[in-house]
Structure 1
Amino acid sequence: MTTLASPTQGGSALALWRVEMASGGRGPLHVFDVEQVWTVLTGDLTVELGGEAFALAPGDTAVLPAGVARRISAGGAVAALVAAPGGARVSVVGRPEEEAFVPGWIA
């Protein structure tokens, strides 16, 4: 994750970051408390969202609603831009002992 804009960098409310994933990379199943907008720059990825899978290719954009479990997986090497409100909180599904937290790249 590479932060491009966030409240701690002087932005007022929006965070923008670049995601780069290696081929076969896969994030944990997690839930954000805000909507996110993903735009694929290169490569292809799969978004598991609320039990359904959606394939995205370069140029595709997906709006991921708040409160719905999601997992992002890279078919090949992927670069994407993601935007969400700064200060968004995430929780990892299956880890009830961990409290929701604000990831550093969107603080």
Structure 2
Amino acid sequence: MPVVRSGEVRRTETPNAVMTTFASPTLGGADQALWQVEMAPGASGPEHAMDAEQIWRAVAGGATVRIADADDVPLAPGDTVVLPAGTVRRIVADADAGFTAVVTGAGGAHAVVAGAEPVVPAWIA
């Protein structure tokens, strides 16, 4: 039974957020990935889809999930959103409070951005 100790977690910084990986195929050998997303106030991720379902649990601050061709979905601490595979979305952090969430999804899933090759984000590899 693999145990990932607190000093072994992996941090990945992007222009939009800091992801802290707690478990993934390359960290603990898990089939699922588990990570935390921390976004600064007003930050937003790129519009993209994942080829596998993800579950986001808001733990601090707030965010808006902008779904292509659908209404925006606001998230507050304690809210959980299930994003089906193929859902084109953009996460936008609250302008004042920022946003922190714990997320899980299939390890090794691909992010798909229009006009680019699919890629496995480092935090879920």
In structure 2, list runs of 5 or more residues that go unmatched.
Answer: 1-18
Q: Which residue of 2 aligns with 1:92?
A: 113
Give the alignment partner of residue 71 of structure 1, picking from 90, 93, 100: 90
Tell which deviates more after alignment, 42-51 or 53-62. Answer: 42-51
| Identical amino acids, percent of aligned pairs | 52
* TM-score w.r.t. length of structure 1: 0.93
CA offsets 1:54-89 (integer angstroms, 9 cap, x no match): 001000000001011000000122110010010000
Q: What amino acid sits opposite 1:88 in the alignment?
A: A
Deviation at 1:50, TM superposition (A): 3.1
CA distance in 2 between counterparts of 1:79 and 1:38 reads 10
Query: For this pair of structures, how many residues does the alignment match?
Result: 104
Tell which deviates more after alignment, 16-25 or 6-15. Answer: 6-15
Q: What amino acid sits opposite 1:90 in the alignment?
A: A
1:6 has 2:24 as partner: yes
Q: Which residue of 2 aligns with 1:38?
A: 56
CA distance in 2 between counterparts of 1:11 and 1:4 reads 11
1:29 has 2:29 as partner: no
* TM-score w.r.t. length of structure 2: 0.80
CA distance in 2 between counterparts of 1:4 and 1:12 reads 10
Deviation at 1:12, TM superposition (A): 2.8
In structure 1, list runs of 5 or more residues that go unmatched.
Answer: none
- Structure showing greater radius of gyration is 2
CA distance in 2 between counterparts of 1:19 and 1:12 reads 19
